[in-house]
Amino acid sequence: NAGVTQTPKFRVLKTGQSMTLLCAQDMNHEYMYWYRQDPGMGLRLIHYSVGEGTTAKGEVPDGYNVSRLKKQNFLLGLESAAPSQTSVYFCASRDLRDRGYTFGSGTRLTVV
Amino acid sequence: QQPVQSPQAVILREGEDAVINCSSSKALYSVHWYRQKHGEAPVFLMILLKGGEQKGHDKISASFNEKKQQSSLYLTASQLSYSGTYFCGTGNTGNQFYFGTGTSLTVIP
């Protein structure tokens, strides 16, 4: 009964380094999302996917790339990390029937 | 695109009631409500899909006025376990979905 699993849970990067955050869900959900959460700003949508092989931009996509090669996985990449990308990142998924989102436990990323 | 929530923060004593409001400048198809405890992921509370719909679970209920593009969350006879940050989330007929900035709720003994 795993739900949505995110790895890693914590990471410290130096400016300019790259990394990939992995999100995996075992509920056969079609839709998957990446959000970032910053103090006072709530959850902001970075990228999302409506099915395997598809991706689309959200409201804050700059500096991030995503891929959905398999239905159960949604990867978020930072090609050249910047201090402004210090945040808590949440992955979420939902099915086609517009039920509630299921969130992963989050990744706390610090860029120094 | 981000819905606006009010108030930003509220402190209650156990047993008191609270209302959290969520409004959007865009036409809405659905409204979700979530609660997030400190350091944890948001947890789904309920979804409202129809105009004027009300839903509830235990002492937490919500309404959705599609015409006014507003939703309200009602917490009755609050308990200590209700403390956390409450987010509304709004969707349109497309696939994008936006969360509000959150309302911090603290229940004290």
Chain A positions touching B95 (Cβ under 8 A) are 31, 48, 50, 56
**Of the listed ranges A12-16, A95-99, B31-35, the one predicted with least confidence:** A95-99
- For residue A110, what are the β-bridge partners? A12
Q: Is B84 on the interface with A (CB under 8 A)?
A: no
- Whole-number average pLDDT of chain A: 93
Does A97 have pLDDT greater than 90?
no
Q: Is B44 on the interface with A (CB under 8 A)?
A: yes
Kindly give, in sequence order, each residue whose CB lies less than 8 Å from that of residue A39, ignoring residues fewer than 6 positions away. none
- For chain B, the farthest-separated pair of C-alpha atoms sits apart, in whole angstroms, at 43
- Rounded CA-CA distance B28/B31 in Å is 7
Asked if the Cβ–Cβ distance from B96 to A101 is below 8 Å, we say: no
Residue A69: Cβ within 10 Å count:
9
Share of residues in chain B with pLDDT > 70 (%):
88
Does B93 have pLDDT greater than 70?
no
Helices of type H across A22-89: none
Report the residue of A45, A88, A95, A101 to disrupt the B interface, i.e. the one with the largest count of B CBs within 10 Å: A101
Supply the pLDDT for residue A16. Answer: 97
Supply the pLDDT for residue B53. Answer: 62
Rounded mean pLDDT, A1-29 = 94
Asked if the Cβ–Cβ distance from A45 to B97 is below 8 Å, we say: yes
Supply the pLDDT for residue B51. Answer: 59
Does B39 have pLDDT greater than 90?
no
Chain B positions touching A51 (Cβ under 8 A) are none
Two tokens, residue A105: 């436990």
Does B77 have pLDDT greater than 70?
yes
